[in-house]
Amino acid sequence: MPITLQQVRTNCTKARARMEQARNEHWAFGAFNLDDEPTLKAVARAAQKLNAPVLVEVSHGEVSDIGLENVRDLVDNIKHEFGVEIYINLDHSPSVEEAKKGIDAGYEFIHIDVSQANHDASDEEIIAATKEVVEYAKFTGALVESEPHYFGGSSNLHTEDIDYEEIKKTFSTPDGARAFVEATGIDTYAAAVGNLHGKYPVPKKLDLELLQQIRDALNCNISLHGGSGTPGHFFESAVKIGVTKININSDMRVAYRRTLEKVLTEHPDEYSVSKLVNGEVVEAVQEVVEEKLATFNSAGRAVV
């Protein structure tokens, strides 16, 4: 059943208030990528078990596979089935047009990331595109997120070590973050402080001192992309500083694939793969989500 405009606006108003509450109370929403229906079920089961509010998010590739409207319907259905507090984030939307489609579909969170499609996009192009999405989002009240430059890595299992000297060249700065937020009017700033898309052979390290400086410089929400492979104590510190949204993808995908490979090997004569996926695979992904939610201090925070 299509969601009404009034329902969309009500959801967005609640999401906006809840993000402010998360900052005041020092907890964060986990934002978990939605690859398929079993992944969504794993997130919902974890949210239900821990009574935690969550976001599920889809990037351009997942939107192409599933469809914006289908994602909206899937999430609304599971929201009612499990009785959980759950919102949708359009992650790394590569253009103004695609971001607007997410707003029209009733998504509560919109991440506009022009530099994802064009790594060489100028500051002026990124600011102009972001401002246009911020203005358009006022129709529903959706929260808009962005960053002033390309954020590295990819949502996969990497074999190379992390070159922190290179990554530091793209770290956010307090002055740069403030200037970008003032120029665009975004609701959420995606900070770069050592977080990186993907899962690597070595644990990630967050510059918490820099994160605190960025928090002191901004009045808006702060998100951390590339949360996979990060030791939990960094997240615990980040939410105390005031981060209110943390993205997780690769940790879930690795658990999904490795568990699926295991059960396929153990059950060579089972050709109903969905039975295997909806058993141990969902459980493995759910375990990852529960672990993250515990470090985000969001357990017990849901308002349904």
What is the set of active-site residues?
Answer: 91
Spatial distance between the Cα atoms of 103 and 29, rounded to a whole number of angstroms: 20
On whether the CB atoms of residues 55 and 86 are closer than 8 A, the answer is yes
Sign of CA dihedral 8, 57, 226, 281: positive
Spatial distance between the Cα atoms of 295 and 30, rounded to a whole number of angstroms: 10
Helix axes 232-241, 208-217, angle to 10 degrees: 20
DSSP letter, residue 138: T
At residue 148's C-alpha, the angle toward residues 146 and 152, to 5°, is 90
Q: Where are the alpha helices (DSSP H) in the chain?
A: 5-25, 37-50, 60-66, 68-82, 96-104, 114-117, 123-137, 164-167, 174-184, 208-217, 232-241, 250-266, 273-276, 282-295
CA torsion 54-255-284-225 (nearest 10°) is: -10
